[in-house]
Structure 1
Amino acid sequence: MSLPDGGLLKRSLVIAGHRTSVSLEAAFWEALRQLASARGLSVQALVGRIDAERGGQNLSSAIRVFVLRAVWPGEGADGSAGA
């Protein structure tokens, strides 16, 4: 997979009934799209799940951590170590 440009892309999403803007690098948007598709979800629905579980963490940061945990060897998307 070739990496897209590293600049931030801002997208508007409706999360829990509220419109919000999220800024992520293109590579994170693409990985998030692929992860959502693999789960049979829209990006908006997956971000909604991430939002519901993020606690006080910044949403963009929570998304980046979710993506890294999902693709990092030995980590699950929920942060649990893989077997």
Structure 2
Amino acid sequence: MKSLSIGTASQESSRFLRREAGLLVPVALLFTGIPVALLLHAIPPSLRQMTVAEKAAENVTLPGSALILLFFCPLLVLVGTLTTY
């Protein structure tokens, strides 16, 4: 059985990151930054700035597009996170 070394793993990881950084960074930004921006864009501005104590008694409903994005955006972020590993 081959012995494992932290130093070897670190060197191999740094070589991989240097070789593939041109692809990893755009893919990570694509799958993490864009879903968050879409979600923030779908939530109405009045809800983005609302605090809990300020509107606690008021019944707030989200538009359908925001509810759909609330389901799909975390999945895209998860895919983006897994692609960087």
Normalised by the size of structure 1, how large is the TM-score? 0.20
Flag the structure with higher helix content: 2
Greater relative CO, 1 or 2 (CA 8 Å, sep 6+)? 2
Flag the structure with higher strand content: 1
